[in-house]
Homo-oligomer: A and B are copies of this chain.
Amino acid sequence: MRYSKQREVVFEVVSKSDDHPEVKKIYERVKEKIPNISLGTVYRNLNTLSADNQIKKIISFDGEHFDKTTYEHYHAYCDICKNVFDVNLKFLSDTSEKIEKNTGIKVISCNFIIKGICHNCQKNKKERED
Contacts and interface: CB of A to CB of B under 8 A. Distances in A.
A118 B118 CA distance: 35
A113 B114 contact: no
A68 to B, nearest CB: 20
Interface string A83-127: 001010101100110111011111111111111111100100000
A55 interface: no
Number of copies: 2
A103 B117 contact: no
Interface residues of A, number: 35
B113 A111 contact: yes
A59 interface: yes
Given A89-B98, A98-B89, A98-B91, A106 B117 contact: yes
